[in-house]
Amino acid sequence: MSSSLQRRSGSAYRGRRAPPPSLRSSWERQGWPLRILRAFLGATFVYAGLQKFLDPNFLHAGMPDYVGTQLRAFAVGSPIRPVLLVLDHVPVLAGVGVALTEVAAGVGTLFGIAPIAWAAVGLGINVVLFLSATWHVHPYFLGSDSMYAVGWGAYLAGLVEIRHRASKGAVAHGTRRERARAAEGMPRREFMRGAAVAAGAVILGVTSSVLAGPPTRRAPPAVPAPGRKPRPGSSSPTGAGTEIASLDSVPVGGAVAFDDPRAGPSVLCRLAQDRVAAYSRVCTHAGCLVEFDPSARLLVCPCHGAQFDPTRGAEVVAGPAPGPLSRIPVTIDRASGQVVALA
């Protein structure tokens, strides 16, 4: 440790009150590796928390990405299943609590307020998510939560090392009585700074919820205008239904997204020349919306890596999903060439 750093560390104890380091100095005292971790983890956690408040469906039952649905999906096969099932009794409270904690951890990290405490909180959050949301992701390095946990752990270790070195410098430059006097005002100052972080998190959360607006209600898809000429030898589907798309508009091995009046976000897959299948896009793991991968011809969840094979009833072929996607009955109207979702 340089003598200049020792002088700065020791001078902090030569008065009755040792104010916490300013925002600028809190960044300057850290090396570039810790600065990069601090900026990334802090900004990501603020974004993650605000994203939950900005999602109008997150706190409303019956929506695909409702927090209660996610908790129940996370609990399947998780080593902390009892904890998740308890939280499922108060899903809205759990969702708000997680979102506020993420925002507070991000703000506290970026502004250097109780940094060690918030780093420990961030580590705890990602350990819990690793044991639930991404527990079944294999191989493990495809799950983001394990990597975030390592990032928070490394940042926490760096902060503890900085504090330890600073305390050693204080021992060398300050008397026991001076250090005791300097510590007198610390609890009150830390409490006020912590309260400021909590208040800021609540304000950001409330503002984001207001901006999010009401839950998104799925409207039935528009029915194409009539006017197609019937094909020779064709027949109409039995029963009422909703037209999804023209069969000719979906290439063999391709897919098209649509909104089903009952299932919500859905996808139509053309498996062969005269064979189609439709499924809900809501992943059975955590409620994310799957996307069709044309190269693999699989339905893939972007959140945790679950993969579903549309040629086998959307059966799970990889990832943490506990079961196949919900199937939507469809048929081909030979008269119009339209694929119809049956009522």
> What does the DSSP 8-state code read for residue 304?
T
80 dihedral zone (left: phi>0; alpha: psi -120 to 50; beta) = alpha
Beta pairing partners, 282: 289
Q: What is the pLDDT of residue 73?
A: 72
Beta-carbon count within 10 A of 101 CB: 19
DSSP state of 289: B
Closest CA to 269 of 280, 285, 261: 280
- Is residue 53 within 8 A of residue 205, CB to CB? The reply is yes
Sign of the CA dihedral with 12 first, then 14, 19, and 23 last: negative
For the chain, the C-alpha Rg in angstroms (whole number) is 27
DSSP codes of every residue in 129-144: HHTTTTTT-SSGGG-H
Among 340, 323, 322, CA closest to 331: 340
The whole-number pLDDT of residue 19 equals 55
This prediction has a pTM of 0.64
Angstrom distance (rounded) from CA 307 to CA 298: 6
Contacts of 227 by beta carbon, 8 Å cutoff, 6+ apart: none
For residue 341, give the nearest of 250, 266, 255 by alpha carbon: 266
The phi and psi torsions of 44 (rounded to 5 degrees) equal: -65, -40
Q: Domain locations in the chain? A: 3-212, 241-342
CATH annotation of 241-342: 2.102.10.10
pLDDT at position 106: 95
- Close Cβ partners of 343 (under 8 Å, ≥ 6 residues apart): 239, 240, 241, 242
- pLDDT tens for the chain, 343 residues: list them: 444 444 444 444 444 444 567 788 899 989 999 999 999 999 999 999 998 988 887 888 876 567 887 787 777 778 999 999 999 999 999 999 999 999 999 999 999 998 999 999 999 999 999 998 877 666 677 678 889 999 999 999 999 998 888 777 655 555 555 455 545 545 566 666 666 666 766 777 667 666 666 665 443 333 333 333 333 323 334 446 788 899 999 999 999 988 888 888 889 999 998 899 999 988 887 777 898 988 889 998 877 778 899 999 999 988 778 889 999 999 998 888 899 988 7
Q: How many CA atoms lie within 13 A of 212 on its CB side?
A: 20
